[in-house]
Amino acid sequence: QVQLVESGGGLVQPGGSLRLSCSLSGFTFDDYAIAWFRQAPGKERQGISLLNSSDGSTFYADFVKGRFTISRDNAKNTVSLQMNDLKPEDTAVYYCAADDTGGRPGVLLAYEYDYWGQGTQVTVSS
């Protein structure tokens, strides 16, 4: 059973940093994309970043380029999102998701993703 579990959310001041982690288990397919999305109350779900398992390539939404970094730790079977210079508008529930891509590059579109974690709250406030 594919399972994704997010952790690492919390309350930080503007300009601070957080590192989110997505723990992966039950994967039986070879090629997949792991993506981070976020959703604030009353807002649409936004794609943040993704990583392709086939070659380790990454993609970022424009609004987080230069601040957020996605990475994987194969030994720990996790994918992380390092978030720096956090802003109040980054406040949201953050989700990781997996897409069985069959070798094609992943895309930051929520409907493409088959498996989702439960979400972790990130609050940026002074």
Q: How far apart are CA 14 and CA 16, in angstroms?
A: 5
Q: What is the predicted pLDDT for the residue at 65? A: 80
Per DSSP (E only), the strands in 1-126 are: 3-7, 10-12, 18-25, 32-39, 46-52, 58-60, 68-73, 78-83, 92-100, 115-116, 120-124
Half-sphere exposure of residue 19, counting CA atoms within 13 Å on the CB side?
6
pLDDT digits 0-9 by tens, 62-111: 998 899 999 999 888 999 999 999 999 999 999 999 999 888 999 999 99
Q: In terms of DSSP H, where are the helices of the chain?
A: none
